[in-house]
Amino acid sequence: MKQSFALGIGGAAGQGVATPGDIFARVFSRRGLHLNAYNAYQSIIRGGHTFLTIRTGPDKISNMGDRLDLLIPLNQDTMDRHLGLLSAGAACLYNSDSIRPGVPAPGVQLCPIPVSKLADISRNKVAQNTLAIGAALSMMGVGFASLESVLAEQFRKKEQSVIDENVNLARAGYEYAAQSFKPFAWPLPMTETRYAVLSGNAAMAMGGAAAGVKFYCAYPMSPSTGVLHWMADHARKAEIMVRQVEDEIGVINMAIGAAHAGVRAMCATSGGGFALMSEGLGLAAQAEIPVVVINCQRAGPSTGVPTKTEQGDLWQALGAAFGDYPRVVAAPLDIGDCFTLIPEIFNLCDRFQCPGIVLCDLLLAEGRLSVAPEELDFYPAIDRGELIASNGSGEHAAYQRYKITESGVSPRAIPGLPGYTHTVSSDEHDEDGVLISDEYTNTVKRRAMMEKRMRKMDGLAALTPPPVLRGPADAEVTLIGWGSTYGVIDEACELLRAEGISANHLPIRWLVPLHGEAILKLLKGARRTIIVENNFSGQFARYLRSETSFTPDGHIRKYDGEPFMPHHIVEAVREQLAGRATLSVPAHEIMV
């Protein structure tokens, strides 16, 4: 089983939960440890409960896990909510001036810090945060020099006096813990490897840069705004034109215009903004203009819960715009995959001249994960497909922008290229781009053009790999998931196998095209199948049934805005094996 250490920091919004999280993440990554971080916060500026979980260890960490080894409550509310979740061997570091601990479980070490004696709280309202960081790393067996260098980097944009003050506070907490508290039984290890720590938003933005994106536009909408931030910060260096637009209708039309002009164009939004982009996606399909749209899903409907995660937009992506048209829809499996998926989907969209939709979600978009640098140090092959960018010898035949071909893909010329004049519009057209009406001869042309476009799906299916079953082929239970459930289902399978329940996992990455026949072949011999997804209605289960007629033996669904933890899946599988149907997961986990 995975060897890991998990800590939770909680408080009211505005109490500075994020900064300690950044400092711990830097310390852990520089020790050569994997990490996964998830911040559960509210959709209000101040007062709402915020809880950040960081899990680290020498083995690959794919989710936030089930337990806490260390709790750092910055207010009484956090202490009251989470102390009962600690078990023997765990510890709780808290400000003894303002927080009452309650009664912990046997074996939990309470670690009161007399903040007012160690710091001048009249001039530093967040002194308890830095004291707790020093105390925590002392108990983990981390040398103070490591923390000191990270603090200098964290506050490098401040005056030297600010850096010195935080170093002195951290040292006071570090030394007080060394004298007053028992260290953890498992000191934090160190390895020779080094990892980058990325959010999914940063990874998708970097993937766009690696794919050759030269135009990015967006309207800020949680949880996709981080893509815009990265693009804006690196626009000049990466030679990408970045525009913040007045609304999502303008965003999709700007992106289509840039793509029509010949550059790779990308935009990102969430469900509400994606709804506004829907008609524009139909234009991209009709005019056969490749464009990539990222939808970072959050809890809906309407504005829903803007700061909570969900996998609720699958059917929205399947039905985006109206009428039938070819598209690619994919869901990254983890934060590293957020990076690698973008160049892949751009190549497909360019080659088949169609829109592509990336279904990310808040869990990945705003979560953070350690990623091996070699996974980021690559130059993906860029395939622009049938793109005519120059006139060559100057001789050419009559140009048919929408020429009917066996593959469904027509030669695409950059507008303005001499000799390649053509018409592009949102109406149905013939091979020359000339609009058709409802005369009999034109209905034949309509059929031919529709069939031409839809033949692209055969080519897309041939170039997107089918899913692969992970784990023993003859498992007692097969868990099926898509997108961001990948890591937590994998760990749940490990836990089930440790209990003597053989389990395997079928993760779905490419949603359109789906590879239904390959999925049915993999599931043909499965003894019991259960679909796991973060939504109320079982959207993927309904989609799979509509495409293949396959009906699973069971479902595990979660729709409270928080992601799955491994024990949710393990307990639900046990119940279903015992004959008790479990459709939803009760909300009794760390993030409440």
Report the distance separating Cα 339 and Cα 142, nearest Å. Answer: 31
Task: Please report whether residue 469 resides in a domain.
Answer: no
Task: Please report whether residue 582 resides in a domain.
Answer: no
pLDDT in tens, 254-294: 999 999 999 999 999 999 999 999 999 999 999 999 999 99
Q: Are residues 258 and 312 in the same domain?
A: yes
CA-only gyration radius of the chain, Å: 26
Q: Is residue 535 a contact partner of residue 310, using CB atoms and an 8 Å limit?
A: yes
Q: Is the pLDDT of residue 588 over 50?
A: no
Cross-strand partners of 507: 481
pLDDT in tens, 322-350: 999 999 999 999 999 999 999 999 999 99
Q: Are residues 548 and 442 in the same domain?
A: no
Q: Are residues 488 and 456 in the same domain?
A: no
Q: pTM for the whole thing?
A: 0.95
DSSP code of residue 559: -
> How far from 503 is each of 314, 553, 569, CA to CA, in Å?
26, 14, 12
What's the domain count of the chain? Answer: 4
Q: Are residues 365 and 427 in the same domain?
A: no
Q: Are residues 15 and 95 in the same domain?
A: yes
What is the helix (H) or strand (E) element at residue 171, kind and residue range?
helix 160-180
Q: Are residues 536 and 494 in the same domain?
A: yes
Task: Please report whether residue 381 resides in a domain.
Answer: no
Task: Please report whether residue 189 resides in a domain.
Answer: no
Which CATH number belongs to the domain containing residue 252 in this structure? Answer: 3.40.50.970
pLDDT at residue 125, rounded to an integer: 79
Task: Please report whether residue 584 resides in a domain.
Answer: no
Q: Are residues 434 and 326 in the same domain?
A: no
Chain-centre distance for alpha carbon 61 = 15
- Which of 464, 498, 530 is where one domain is finished? 464
pLDDT in tens, 563-582: 999 999 999 999 999 987 66
Strands 510-512 and 554-557: unpaired
pLDDT at residue 584, rounded to an integer: 73
Length of the chain: 592
Predicted confidence band at 394 (pLDDT cuts at 50, 70, 90)? low
Tokens of 35: 């990490």
Q: Are residues 21 and 163 in the same domain?
A: yes
What is the helix (H) or strand (E) element at residue 12, kind and residue range?
strand 5-12
Q: Are residues 23 and 102 in the same domain?
A: yes
Task: Please report whether residue 192 resides in a domain.
Answer: no
Predicted confidence band at 354 (pLDDT cuts at 50, 70, 90)? very high
Predicted confidence band at 233 (pLDDT cuts at 50, 70, 90)? very high
Task: Please report whether residue 273 resides in a domain.
Answer: yes
Q: Are residues 159 and 202 in the same domain?
A: no
Q: Are residues 72 and 129 in the same domain?
A: yes
Strands 368-371 and 196-199: antiparallel
Please give the mean pLDDT across all residues of the chain: 94
Chain-centre distance for alpha carbon 91 = 31
Q: Are residues 372 and 422 in the same domain?
A: no
Report the distance separating Cα 380 and Cα 343, nearest Å. Answer: 7
- Which of 312, 344, 376 is where one domain is finished? 376
- Which of 376, 402, 427 is where one domain is finished? 376
Q: Is the pLDDT of residue 205 over 60?
A: yes
Report the distance separating Cα 59 and Cα 365, nearest Å. Answer: 22
pLDDT at residue 123, rounded to an integer: 75
Q: Is residue 269 a contact partner of residue 251, using CB atoms and an 8 Å limit?
A: yes
Task: Please report whether residue 591 resides in a domain.
Answer: no
Greater pLDDT, 586 or 254: 254
pLDDT in tens, 445-454: 999 999 999 9
Which CATH number belongs to the domain containing residue 32 in this structure? Answer: 3.40.920.10
Cross-strand partners of 298: none
- The residue range of the domain holding 160 is 5-180
Query: Which of 560, 557, 546, 547 minimizes the C-alpha distance to 589?
Result: 560
Which CATH number belongs to the domain containing residue 508 in this structure? Answer: 3.40.50.920
